[in-house]
Amino acid sequence: MIGITELAADKARKMMAENNISPDSSYGIRLGVKSGGCSGLNYVLDIVEGPDEKDRVFEKHGVKLFCDPKSYLYLNGTEIDYEDGVMDGGFKFNNPNAKRSCGCGTSFAV
């Protein structure tokens, strides 16, 4: 399971609205990982039109979340949150699989 807090879902819906995307459409947030960053793996978030064929699909607080099978191995149990802040604001990932994370919270190691 991958979750999203109410605050993060609200920010995601606002981002979609700014891009003229209705939250009732097939669009959602693709969450994934890619190699890189100071801890080994980077989190990736994108607004996409619908899931890929093998994606895991979750919906919470009116936001659809899509995750490919390989990324799901690293992200199962993760909750996306959002923090307001001048220096370190933005989407944050509470990932129980991460053994260590970088200071900025955008990369992790398992």
- pLDDT tens for each residue of 11-55: 999 999 999 998 778 999 999 998 876 657 888 999 999 999 999
Task: Please give the sequence-ordered ranges of beta strands (E in DSSP) within 1-110, or none if there are none.
Answer: 3-4, 27-36, 40-49, 56-60, 63-67, 79-83, 90-94, 100-101, 107-109
Taking only the tens place, the pLDDT of each residue in 88-97 is 778 999 999 8
Say whether pTM exceeds 0.75: yes
Which residue shows structure tokens 């700014």?
A: 18
Structural domain count, the chain: 1
Q: Name the 3-class secondary structure at 23.
A: coil
Instruction: For residues 71 and 110, give the distance between their C-alpha atoms in angstroms, rounded to a whole number.
Output: 12
CATH of the domain at 17: 2.60.300.12
- What is the extent of the structural domain holding 56? 3-109
